[in-house]
Structure 1
Amino acid sequence: MSDFDAIDALLAASGPEAELPPVAERRALREALHLSQAQVARAIGVSPTTVGGWESGREPTGEIRDKYAYFLGAARERTEPEAEPERESSDGSATDVADADAHSSADSEAVPLARPEPCVLCGRPATEQVEGFPQHLDPAQCAPATPAPEPTRPTPAPEPTRPAPAPATRTVRTPGRGERIVPVGRRVQAASDVPDLIGDAVSAALARADGDVDAAAAALLKRAIPDAMALLDETRKGGRYDIVAHPWIPDVLRKQSAKGADQVWEGRPKWARPELPEGAHEVIALDINGAYLSALKTHLPIGQLEHSAGFDHDRRRAGVHLVTPPEWHHDAVLPNPLGNRDEPGPLWVTEPTLRLLLRLSGPKYGLCDPPEIHESYTSGATEGLLEKFRVALKDARDRAISEGDEVTLEYVKAMYSKFVSTMGESNYNRELYRPDWMHLIRSQAFTNLWMKAFKAYDEGLTVVRAMGTDELHVIGDWQSVFPEGRGVAEVKVKDRYTVGRDGAAQAEQGASSA
């Protein structure tokens, strides 16, 4: 490349950026061509969630922006209504439809007849015709027809029952193919429509490793994050809401330093019963299966968080809230729903924590006063945003357990655990930046553990410890309260130890293992 070529390339690169349509139009153009985000992403060379970000307000740059602008421009041309067709006049010149209509109206003037013919209106002789039909031009010349006697009107039959209205429809224009009618709303993908990406990945890894289970498992764990994102994209096809992958985030959800934390308190429990019942007792340490997997079913904000102030809680929205928590007077038998927090005063909590506090302050439980809400960052929410993603992982986990497939089991566990841990500020997952979701899912896992602790207490068990997301220690007939097994809705025994005056050594051993 010569110096002048290099200068030309530099000038071309520094030119004005390609213009993009407004944000609201980008998704409409794609859907008008019946294209998915994944199809557009493959053509441009990015991920589907990146395309979703562009349709939600993010702006691409550089060569990627040029490609996206080219796609949107072509999509707009294909979806614009066609211009009125031109007609060719008798002298060969083009004329538009309006001119043709004017000529046709001129051709409809009256023409004299060589001899009178019956008028098409009254039957009397007429001397002119219009558009080939003999008729009187003056209405007064038409003799009124003798009115026929009005027939006896029959008794009207009872009106038949009106059928139920058909589902509402909307017209979707397919470029170059006329119009077709489709039901209102978007087709939701059935569970059976989701390809078995997990099974395919495991089979491919085993094939590449020549059947070496350890090598295949190691390779699968390395690709757990991108594979989880691919599964998320697949399960969201046809969903009612698009995932906003990179929204604006308020400062309370941003880390205060490179190694610091943000201002949101997740309510992680680390509780031990201060006084044990007299005598020696066997404690069963229960492990809650798939804690983060179950927590994927929680109310997640769909779009960008919006600020509000006041004491009301809108259950149709979700996010983070600045609250003054109520006092907790049950530490002797149950953990504090806020976890171990010593600092007094207001704090930022997540949606699951707030809902738990409101629930416990209601008439059914009556365990505390309601929290005082000062301000919130929320968005419209749904509990089913990740439901198909969760079900796909759960089904794969269940199959792996039933078939004794430890490779798939560890792969699935890595997919959902790393998915949750890297959706915040992480260099391992650039496709999704939702620290609000990360906090909410973690807090939902803590909330689920608290509810299991309360269930044990309510059924007469003695709750000894509650730790993290999945560890619950109890005294009593736990099998009458919790089903045992490896399923997501089941628990398994992690440890057994003895506490009390006759088992001090065992108690210390159990505490250290916890």
Structure 2
Amino acid sequence: MTDFDAIDALLAGAKPEVPLPPVEERRALREHLNLSRAQVAQVLGVSPSTVGGWESGRDPGGEVREKYAYFLDGARARRQAQAAEEAAITVQDAGSPAEAEDVETASVAPVGDGGGDGDADEVEVLTSPQPCVLCGRPARHQVAGFPQHLDPADCGRTAATPPARAAEPEGGRPDIEPDPEPERPASRKPTPESVAVRPVGRRMQAASDTPDLIGQAVAAALAQHQGDVDTATAALVKRAIPDAMALLDATRRGGRYDVVAHPWIPDILRKQSARGADQIWEARPKWFRPQLPPGNHEVTALDINGAYLSALKTHLPIGQLEHSTGPGHDRRRAGVHLITPPGWEHEDVLPNPIGNRDEPGPLWVTEPTLRLLLRLSGPKYGLCDPPEIHESFTSGATEGLLEKFRVALKDARDRAIVDGDEVTLEYVKAMYSKFVSTMGESNYNRELYRPDWMHLIRSQAFANLWMKAYKAYDEGLTVVRAMGTDELHVIGDWRGVFAEGRGVTEVKVKDTYTVGSEENQER
């Protein structure tokens, strides 16, 4: 066969991609049939998260695209046939006033999710429209204190380029897979004359309802490697990122808000070059006391346990970041802010809350850094002037977005410490540390792209360390060093200030050493 024959054969076998319905229609088609993502994923041979990605902006390719298109075409045909049938029934029954009234009443579903969990009590009608926490457009209701649209069709997140949910690798995770997504409760079908109000979401399930994916994975790894602890630990650490994402999916199931995995990100959060950094300043401390009291002193280097794990409890933006200007700060929102930081006159005894920065002028900081500065400028502390806010990128926020994920990791860590289970301990540490470090522009985690979350969580860890340094100073200890997220060096009876242990609320001794005033001058 000549080259031209090969080209002709290639052209003859080429065919255009099968078209897919618009993104905003895909989820509606599935839900209309009361099918869960897990059910669709099973017949297509993919994971539930992959189906979630397709419903939020990603497109499949190859043979699986043809299968998905076939499913959606069938679902659309079923919906059209059912709508026509219901319309005919409505027309036929319209002659009875009582029955017509029933049809009109049934066209609007009650606010709530129909699951009987009490969420309806949390939906309130606003006296005046407020920006939706998910899209920013005016909304007339609020749920659990957050303004938002009850009907996703009214929400700006259903625009042509919606944020995408995290998508799993096509092969799935054979050893640690979340339980199939529970089927959604049946809802009233919309009639041609009106569209039913759809439920906002459901309350997150109790912690006991989350499957023990960590314990299952550890047991499976030990069995696979015949009890070899080192080999099993290495295998678990290697797969810590996808396993952390599986745990996140499991703990978020039933949550009120979707975890927006790939929203629009402003340029300040994008790397300026392949090996460069973005424009966000994380306020990482690298401080040591410039002058010690005269004499020799024994210094204890304290290790702060689970710094990133504790920092998962921080105010995270729920939806896409929106730009604003002006000096105001809304505590119901979170993001990044361009500020002129205040002067700091306590460098001789405490680190600067914005870390080691020599350049003057405005800089972009995260929500935890801004809140720390505002706190320290308040009447309780009075340590500095308030920062000057110039502009911000923020979204409606909550501290509880990753709370069940954090608690699942913390509980597994606590059990491992009690049981002396070093395999689980190393596995859990790798899960939360790699989860945080790879949710930015990383080749290792393609499922969650939230560089804003990465900066906020890391900055929260730095802010937590700063507050521990202040607590030590306030209790009469001499603070010698504060480094990164988990290292604090002090002089004095630190056990009267901090609890010693391996728990996330405790500290442990990393090192002890002696310094004197002469040695300090040499440093």
Which category of TM-score, normalised to the shorter sequence, fits these structures? 0.7 to 0.9
- In the other structure, the counterpart of 2:13 is 9
What are the Cα deviations for residues 235-286 of structure 1, in whole angstroms up to 9, with x where unaligned? Answer: 1110111111111211111111111111111000000011111222211110
Distance of 2:90 and 2:347 partners within structure 1: 84
Distance of 1:303 and 1:261 partners within structure 2: 23
The CA deviation at 1:59 is: 4.6
SS at match of 1:198: helix
Distance of 1:167 and 1:55 partners within structure 2: 26
Q: 1:11-90 to 2 correspondence within 5 Å?
A: 12-13=15-16, 17-23=18-24, 25-61=25-61, 63-79=63-79, 81-84=82-85
- In the other structure, the counterpart of 2:226 is 210
Does structure 1 residue 243 correspond to structure 2 residue 259?
Answer: yes
The CA deviation at 1:197 is: 0.8
- Pair 1:478–1:79, CA change in 2 (3 A): farther
Distance of 1:238 and 1:100 partners within structure 2: 37
SS at match of 1:173: coil
- Pair 1:26–1:308, CA change in 2 (3 A): farther
SS at match of 2:84: coil
Q: 1:324-343 to 2 correspondence within 5 Å?
A: 324-343=340-359
Match of 2:188 among 160, 164, 173: 173
Q: Are the equivalent residues in 1 in contact too, given 2:23–2:55 (CA < 8 A)? A: no
The CA deviation at 1:301 is: 1.2
**Letter aligned with residue 358 of structure 2:** D
Rg comparison, structure with higher value: 1
- In the other structure, the counterpart of 2:386 is 370
- In the other structure, the counterpart of 1:153 is none
The CA deviation at 1:85 is: 7.8
Relative to the length of structure 2, the TM-score reads 0.75
The CA deviation at 1:357 is: 0.9
Q: Are the equivalent residues in 2 in contact too, given 1:47–1:431 (CA < 8 A)? A: no
Distance of 1:9 and 1:391 partners within structure 2: 53
Distance of 1:79 and 1:344 partners within structure 2: 61
SS at match of 2:390: strand
Distance of 1:445 and 1:408 partners within structure 2: 23
Does structure 1 residue 310 correspond to structure 2 residue 320?
Answer: no
Q: How many pairs align?
A: 430
**Letter aligned with residue 496 of structure 1:** T
Distance of 1:343 and 1:335 partners within structure 2: 16
SS at match of 2:242: helix
Q: Are the equivalent residues in 2 in contact too, given 1:286–1:491 (CA < 8 A)? A: yes
Distance of 2:212 and 2:471 partners within structure 1: 36
- In the other structure, the counterpart of 2:371 is 355
SS at match of 1:323: strand
What are the Cα deviations for residues 360-390 of structure 1, in whole angstroms up to 9, with x where unaligned? Answer: 1111111111111111111221111111111
Match of 2:410 among 382, 394, 400: 394
- Pair 1:53–1:325, CA change in 2 (3 A): farther
- In the other structure, the counterpart of 1:484 is 500
Q: Are the equivalent residues in 2 in contact too, given 1:21–1:72 (CA < 8 A)? A: no
**Letter aligned with residue 7 of structure 1:** L
Distance of 1:489 and 1:207 partners within structure 2: 33
The CA deviation at 1:7 is: 3.4
- In the other structure, the counterpart of 1:226 is 242
- Pair 1:99–1:257, CA change in 2 (3 A): closer
Structure 2, unaligned stretches of length 5 or more?
A: 97-117, 124-184, 191-196
**Letter aligned with residue 173 of structure 1:** R
What are the Cα deviations for residues 465-508 of structure 1, in whole angstroms up to 9, with x where unaligned? Answer: 1000000011111111111000000000111111224xx66x79
The CA deviation at 1:77 is: 4.0
- In the other structure, the counterpart of 2:292 is 276
Relative to the length of structure 1, the TM-score reads 0.76
- Pair 1:59–1:455, CA change in 2 (3 A): same
Distance of 1:99 and 1:271 partners within structure 2: 79
- In the other structure, the counterpart of 1:439 is 455
The CA deviation at 1:84 is: 3.8
SS at match of 1:430: coil
The CA deviation at 1:208 is: 1.1
RMSD: 3.3
The CA deviation at 1:182 is: 11
Structure 1, unaligned stretches of length 5 or more?
A: 88-95, 105-164, 176-180
The CA deviation at 1:421 is: 0.8
- In the other structure, the counterpart of 1:295 is 311
The CA deviation at 1:415 is: 0.7
Distance of 1:98 and 1:69 partners within structure 2: 33
> Which sits farther off after the overlay, 401-410 or 240-249?
240-249
- In the other structure, the counterpart of 2:165 is none
- Pair 1:256–1:101, CA change in 2 (3 A): closer
Q: Are the equivalent residues in 1 in contact too, given 2:478–2:491 (CA < 8 A)? A: yes
Distance of 1:63 and 1:368 partners within structure 2: 62
Identity of aligned residues (%): 76
- In the other structure, the counterpart of 2:510 is 494
